[in-house]
Amino acid sequence: MGEAVLAGALAAGWPADRVVATTTSSDRGQARAEALRERYEVETTSDNAAAVKGASLVVLAVKPKDMAGLLEAISQGLADGVVVASIAAGLTAAWFEERLPAGTPVVRAMPNTPAQIGAGVTAIAPGAHATEEHLALVESALSGAGTVVRVAEKDIDAVTALSGSGPAYVFYVIDALTEAGVLLGLRRDVASTLATQTVLGSARLVAETGEHPVLLRERVTSPGGTTAAGLRALDDRGVRAAFLAAAQAAYDRARELR
Ligand SMILES: NC(=O)C1=CN([C@@H]2O[C@H](COP(=O)(O)OP(=O)(O)OC[C@H]3O[C@@H](n4cnc5c(N)ncnc54)[C@H](OP(=O)(O)O)[C@@H]3O)[C@@H](O)[C@H]2O)C=CC1
Ligand SMILES: O=C(O)[C@@H]1CCC=N1
């Protein structure tokens, strides 16, 4: 996810020669550093404390369990006026503020993996010391990865459950539709193309017409036709309730991560 944020910042016009990406010093981390240098022509290092010196924006993209150690390593070296943005699930702005020098502006961000192709959606929310100017800086870094929306921080766990985790639900649907096509005798590659383009086209239709999904669904559903039969099977199996339960479970899990 950190790489997607990096690619987005460069796409948004942040100059590569002013961006430093950090990795671990493990073999895997070093291989990743080499790949990042080749792909993006940015400086890389495994010295987080050195990387943050003089930075105006520090984006933290490690797993929640690794965040406390990372903050310990960088806190002393942060420049005055730096903005710290975190993309970690669960960890609140207050959690960061407790571990950073007093008054550090913190912005919480929740991107999603379509950011890799500039088609992500990211919600950002200010911590206690973050101003409009700080939010605008973070937004400018993330805007190359897709749409950016602003929310109150109390809503970030809900965002995590919906759009942060959401691509996985959609991939699950694409995979299930592909299997359904195979079950009905279609070749796997044909079924995969049909399932993928159906999800892509339907999402674009919602986004580009601005019409309500219920109305668009009704237009597909001819009286006494095939779609009505298919939708009844989804209702009979509680698929809508399953999506609500999935979002609730993801939300609850985000709150357990702190
Ligand atoms: N995946 C997703 O869809 C989304 C993830 N997030 C959040 O993004 C964060 C990262 O998740 P994700 O990308 O999936 O996880 P990954 O494990 O894929 O990425 C984390 C990366 O951080 C590196 N790392 C760990 N410690 C350090 C360190 N001290 N210095 C530099 N690099 C370090 C790891 O290196 P190594 O492998 O060498 O240990 C790894 O490459 C999480 O907090 C998650 O909640 C947010 C939105 C969406
Ligand atoms: O699964 C996770 O914890 C992360 C956060 C949002 C998407 N992936």
Closest ligand, as measured to the CA of 165? 2
Mean pLDDT, rounded, for 230-240:
98
Q: Is the CB of 160 under 6 A from ligand 2?
A: yes
Which atom of ligand 1 is nearest to 88's Cα?
43
Q: Is the CB of 44 under 6 A from ligand 1?
A: no
Residue 252's SS3 state is helix
Instruction: State how far the Cα of 97 lies from the Cα of 75, in Å rounded to an integer.
Output: 11
Q: Is the CB of 112 under 6 A from ligand 1?
A: yes
**Is the CA virtual torsion 40, 45, 46, 49 positive or negative?**
negative
- Residue 61 CA to ligand 1 center (angstroms) comes to 5
Nearest-10 crossing angle of helices 2-11, 132-142: 100
pLDDT in tens, 59-94: 999 999 999 999 999 999 999 999 999 999 999 999
Q: Is the CB of 120 under 6 A from ligand 1?
A: no
Q: How far is CA 4 from the centre of its chain?
A: 9
Cβ-in-10-Å burial (0-12, 13-18, 19+) of 4 comes to buried
Whether ipTM tops 0.95, in short, is yes
| Averaged confidence pLDDT in the chain | 97
- Residue 229 CA to ligand 2 center (angstroms) comes to 35
- Residue 186 CA to ligand 2 center (angstroms) comes to 33
Which structural domains are found in the chain, ordered by start? Answer: 2-153 (3.40.50.720), 166-256 (1.10.3730.10)
Nearest-10 crossing angle of helices 239-256, 226-236: 50
Mean pLDDT, rounded, for 120-130:
98
DSSP label of 164: I
Which atom of ligand 1 is nearest to 167's Cα?
3
Nearest to 77 by CA among 101, 104, 53: 53
Q: Whose CA is nearest to atom 1 of ligand 2?
A: 165
Q: Is the CB of 86 under 6 A from ligand 2?
A: no
Mean pLDDT, rounded, for 120-135:
98
* Binding-site annotation: residue ranges for NADP(+): 24, 61-64
Q: Whose CA is nearest to atom 43 of ligand 1?
A: 88
pLDDT in tens, 179-218: 999 999 999 999 999 999 999 999 999 999 999 999 999 9
pLDDT in tens, 7-54: 999 999 999 999 999 999 999 999 999 999 999 999 999 999 999 999
Instruction: Count other C-beta atoms under 10 Å from residue 103's C-beta.
Output: 9
Q: Are 43 and 20 in contact (CB under 8 A)?
A: yes
- Note the pTM of the prediction, 2 decimals: 0.97
Nearest to 193 by CA among 183, 182, 178: 178
Nearest-10 crossing angle of helices 27-40, 2-11: 20
Q: Is the CB of 89 under 6 A from ligand 2?
A: yes
Instruction: State how far the Cα of 2 lies from the Cα of 7, in Å rounded to an integer.
Output: 9
Q: Please list, in sequence order, all residues whose beta carbon lies within 8 angstroms of the beta carbon of residue 108, skipping any fewer than 6 positions away.
A: 85, 86, 91, 92, 93, 124, 125, 127, 153, 156
Instruction: Count other C-beta atoms under 10 Å from residue 3's C-beta.
Output: 16
Instruction: State how far the Cα of 161 lies from the Cα of 152, in Å rounded to an integer.
Output: 15
Cα→Cα distances 201→118, 121, 193, 220, 237, Å: 17, 18, 12, 13, 25
